[in-house]
Structure 1
Amino acid sequence: MKNTEVQDGRSPSQLIDERIRELGDWRGEMLGRIRKLIRAADPEVVEEWKWRGVPVWSHGGILCTGETYKNVVKMTFAKGASLPDPAQLFNSSLEGNTRRAIDIHEGEAIDEKALTALIQAAVALNQSKPRR
């Protein structure tokens, strides 16, 4: 796993660590679990911190983001509409032509096997297309 630019002397990974700690509730725990799954699914993933505080995971382009709201942790896949989703994890942002998201609410379980496959499919898609 690689880190990109430093902000205020802190790497994106450190900023994500801080976000997880700051949340201090189920959202922080869920963001931490998602992050662990992403890192396991793609050991070469790059962690970034964009748009004033959104954790972003990239490999040859953005894979997904990990946004936290009052009642939901949202994983948005940048090219989700192009990914196979046999387990039907995507349950949000379904109307767009490009992105797809997974909204996770308190107490909901994650299908770790299906999410890992989705992350790996996103990596494969990014690597299959020439970058401009």
Structure 2
Amino acid sequence: MTYVADPRVDAYIDALPAWQQAICHQVRVLVHGVDPDVTETVKRRVRPYFVLDGNICALLAAKTHVNIFLYDGAIVPDPDNIITGGHDNKTARTVAVHEGETLNERALAKMLKQIIADNRAGGWRKIKKDRGEV
């Protein structure tokens, strides 16, 4: 797969322990594979973000896990129960992946596709407003 890598994202990932690097690379390839128009950047000084008509997801390595923040306004279904935090958050929910755990790529890819479709439709805030949920 070909995508334009942001060297700041490379630097963030390269500074992590090997197991966290592997998770971050896996997510990076997955999100770019979901839609070739996805771009990556750094926000909040160091955090890798993946964007397309709005935020899709971000990565944040913690001591014991990697957080994948999904910017979906909690409207994307999670039938595989991969969301581990932020269930009541109005902006983003998280998928935490710990050392030795396997990322459910199929479920995450499905959610990423829906987030991108929602972004292209005006974003989760507009969708919630149109549904009368705001």
Q: Quick check: 2:3–2:32 contact (8 Å CA) kept in 1?
A: no
Quick one: distance in 1 between partners of 2:31 and 2:73? 15
Q: Could you give the per-residue CA deviations for residues 28-86 of structure 1, whole angstroms, max 9, x where no partner exists?
A: 11101110111111111010101010000001000010111111100111225011211
Matched, 1:73 2:66: yes
Q: Quick check: 2:47–2:59 contact (8 Å CA) kept in 1?
A: yes
Give the superposed CA RMSD. Answer: 2.1
Deviation of the 1:97 alpha carbon? 2.5
> 79, 96, 100: which one pairs with 1:103?
96
Q: Could you give the per-residue CA deviations for residues 98-124 of structure 1, whole angstroms, max 9, x where no partner exists?
A: 321101110110111111111101000
Deviation of the 1:89 alpha carbon? 1.1
Quick one: distance in 2 between partners of 1:97 and 1:50? 19
Deviation of the 1:2 alpha carbon? 7.1
Aligned residue pairs total 124
Amino acid at match of 2:106: K
> 2, 5, 11: which one pairs with 1:18?
11
> 22, 27, 33: which one pairs with 2:26?
33
Query: Aligned to 2:6, what secondary structure does the other structure show?
Result: helix
Residues 31 and 105 (structure 1 numbering): CA distance in 2 closer, same or farther, change over 3 Å? same
Unaligned 5+ residue runs, structure 2?
Answer: 127-134
Q: Quick check: 2:65–2:96 contact (8 Å CA) kept in 1?
A: yes
TM-score, normalised to structure 2, is 0.84
Quick one: distance in 1 between partners of 2:54 and 2:45? 19
Q: Quick check: 1:78–1:98 contact (8 Å CA) kept in 2?
A: yes
Determine the structure 1 residue equivalent to 2:78: 85
- Dislocated runs of 4+, deviation >2 Å: none
Determine the structure 1 residue equivalent to 2:117: 124
Unaligned 5+ residue runs, structure 1?
Answer: 4-11
Amino acid at match of 1:55: P
